[in-house]
């Protein structure tokens, strides 16, 4: 048996879809994908990741994830950080793990997010 990541689900408050599109689509640069018709009435929005999906689902009693978080790998962490800074988004660099250049930030609803780039050996 083998396992692979199919999708990540992050909770959002009701009515947060437009903020998700602005953040994940416009700022981060992900492509929105259609939700299956059977799930559209529940709200939320989905985006494509490389080899998996990001599902942003409405949670009625929403509370942001402050510790648990997804880690998104990128090939250009500096450019992504610049986009966050230009947009006025807070970010915090962290060098605790050797071989990973990374920063933490939050989505528009306060969910903790990690963005990282693997460093190539010198």
Mean pLDDT of 37-53: 95
Residue 100 falls inside a structural domain: yes
The pLDDT tens digits of the residues spanning 83-104 come to 999 999 999 999 999 999 999 9
The three-class DSSP label of residue 68 is: coil
- Looking at residue 121, its pLDDT comes to 59
* pLDDT grade for 120, boundaries at 50, 70 and 90: confident
The pLDDT tens digits of the residues spanning 24-43 come to 999 999 999 999 999 999 99
What is the C-alpha to C-alpha distance for residues 61 and 87, in angstroms, rounded to an integer? 28
Percent of the chain with pLDDT over 90: 96
What's the total number of domains in the chain?
1
Q: Are strands 112-118 and 7-12 parallel, antiparallel or unpaired?
A: unpaired
Q: How far is CA 118 from the centre of its chain?
A: 17
What residue numbers bound the domain in which 16 lies? Answer: 7-118
| Residue 39 belongs to domain with CATH number | 3.10.180.10
Residue 2 falls inside a structural domain: no
pLDDT at 122 over 60: no
| Main-chain dihedrals φ then ψ at residue 80, nearest 5 degrees | -65, -45
Provide the edge-to-edge strand list for the sheet that holds 112-118. Answer: 71-73, 112-118, 100-106, 92-94
Could you tell me the two tokens for 122? 């010198």
- Looking at residue 74, its pLDDT comes to 96
Residue 88 falls inside a structural domain: yes
What is the C-alpha to C-alpha distance for residues 110 and 63, in angstroms, rounded to an integer? 9
């Amino acid at each position: 048996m083998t396992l692979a990541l199919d999708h990540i689900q992050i909770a959002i408050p009701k009515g947060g879809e437009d903020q998700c599109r602005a953040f994940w689509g416009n700022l981060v640069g992900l492509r929105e994908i259609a939700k299956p018709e059977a799930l559209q009435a529940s709200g939320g929005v989905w985006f494509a990741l490389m080899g998996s999906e990001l599902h942003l689902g409405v949670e009625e009693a929403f509370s942001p994830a402050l510790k648990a978080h997804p880690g998104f790998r990128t090939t250009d962490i500096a450019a992504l950080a610049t986009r966050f800074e230009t947009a006025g988004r807070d970010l915090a660099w962290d060098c605790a793990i050797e071989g990973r250049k990374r920063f933490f930030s939050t989505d528009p609803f306060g969910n903790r997010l990690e963005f990282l780039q693997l460093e190539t050996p010198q």
